[in-house]
Amino acid sequence: MKFWVVGKDGLLGREMCDFFDKNGVYFVASSHGGADILDEKALLAFYNKHKPSHIVNCAAYVNVDEAEGKGKELAYLLNVEGPKNLTRLAKKEEIRLLHIGTDYVFDGEKKTDYTETDETNPINEYGRTKLLGEREVICYEKGLCLRTASIYGKSKPGIISGMIDAVKSKEVVQHISDQISTPTYAKDLAEAIFQIRDQSGLFHFTNEGSVSRYELLLYVWHLVKELGLDVKCREVKAVLQKDCSRAAKRPLRSVLSNKKIEKFLQKPIRKWEEALREYVEEIC
Ligand SMILES: NC(=O)c1ccc[n+]([C@@H]2O[C@H](COP(=O)([O-])OP(=O)(O)OC[C@H]3O[C@@H](n4cnc5c(N)ncnc54)[C@H](OP(=O)(O)O)[C@@H]3O)[C@@H](O)[C@H]2O)c1
């Protein structure tokens, strides 16, 4: 068994490499420059050199707002054509392809958690391109798409480090109270990807529970204060999504159900609060 991490310099890509390193899993990894997912010849050359048994595709276009405008074409290329190229290669070589999907394939109107069999209905370009990409992958019998949400990790700044910086540097900080999902620690996600490596089709994985962006910011604020760090923030305000000027709409409630993947994992999935506390304690 030998893994190929595609997109090794991204948030999840780095975390995936770190997981393999720490757990003695045999792997190779490529960056954008080392194996461009839009260049089939480069992908084949990398494959022929290393002969992996599993590809983990961590490369994508993830700028949700820019995908509505100037990033639209690139989002399509990276999120649809890229997975299509990787699927073609994996099919030809009969190797496994593990791909990462998003909660943004849903419209967020459902009151309960989304399962893998729920109807998709993306409301932004990022979600639309990611849906087309996951369809390419799961058409292949050895293809797997693991949908997840709001990833944060130590390797790259993200949603949580942005909140920490904000409460450290600003007196008043605000966030959206009507956008609910589940923050997911990239370290837990990397482990789940490894464990699910020989399954096919669609799976969901996030940390357990759900929270609005506003409640998440409150939680981070209290955590940082509890750890005794210098905090400038005196007030955390709630705002509604409709009052924020962002190019892309986000689903209001895009909580993913973990029930299906739980059957394959050997330990319970951590609650988002527990994973977040560990992360904040580690980085602060
Ligand atoms: N972040 C989240 O909150 C979130 C939530 C749900 C799902 N996801 C999904 O999780 C996956 C990982 O996301 P992430 O946050 O780790 O993304 P990320 O940090 O933006 O990493 C994406 C990586 O893709 C690489 N890349 C771009 N164009 C490429 C190309 N043509 N060929 C090869 N590599 C290329 C980038 O390299 P360069 O920087 O060198 O271009 C970058 O290292 C994605 O599929 C994303 O849709 C993310």
Give residue 7 CA to ligand 1 midpoint distance, Å.
Answer: 7
Give residue 134 CA to ligand 1 midpoint distance, Å.
Answer: 14
User: Residue 180 is inside which H or E element, if any?
Assistant: strand 180-181
Give Dmax over CA atoms of the chain in angstroms: 58
Report if residue 65 sits inside a domain: yes
Report if residue 70 sits inside a domain: yes
pLDDT at 250 over 90: yes
CATH number, position 28: 3.40.50.720
Identify the pLDDT of residue 267: 81
Report if residue 173 sits inside a domain: no
Shortest-distance Cα residue to atom 8 of ligand 1: 102
Nearest-CA neighbor of 219 among 136, 153, 159? 159
- The number of the ligand 1 atom at minimal distance from the alpha carbon of 156 is 19
Report if residue 280 sits inside a domain: no
User: Which letter does DSSP use for residue 242 in this model?
Assistant: G
Q: Cα separations (Å) of 80 from 61, 91, 284?
A: 10, 16, 37
Shortest-distance Cα residue to atom 3 of ligand 1: 150
Give residue 144 CA to ligand 1 midpoint distance, Å.
Answer: 17
Q: Per residue in 140-189, pLDDT tens?
A: 999 999 999 999 999 999 999 999 999 999 999 999 999 999 999 999 99
Report if residue 66 sits inside a domain: yes
Q: Per residue in 57-109, pLDDT tens?
A: 999 999 999 999 999 999 999 999 999 999 999 999 999 999 999 999 999 99
pTM (two decimals): 0.98
What would the mean pLDDT of 39-66 be, rounded to a whole number? Answer: 98
Per-residue tokens: 182: 């589940």
Report if residue 37 sits inside a domain: yes
Report if residue 236 sits inside a domain: no
Q: Cα separations (Å) of 240 from 174, 194, 232?
A: 10, 37, 24
Report if residue 174 sits inside a domain: no
Shortest-distance Cα residue to atom 15 of ligand 1: 11
Protein residues with CB under 6 Å of any ligand 1 atom: 7, 9-13, 31-32, 36-38, 58-60, 62, 78, 100, 102, 130, 148-151, 156
Cβ–Cβ contacts within 10 Å for residue 143, how many? 25
Domain count, the chain: 1
pLDDT above 70: percentage of residues in the chain: 100
- The number of the ligand 1 atom at minimal distance from the alpha carbon of 77 is 31
| Residue 45 domain boundaries | 3-157+182-211+248-272
Give residue 268 CA to ligand 1 midpoint distance, Å.
Answer: 27
- The number of the ligand 1 atom at minimal distance from the alpha carbon of 13 is 16
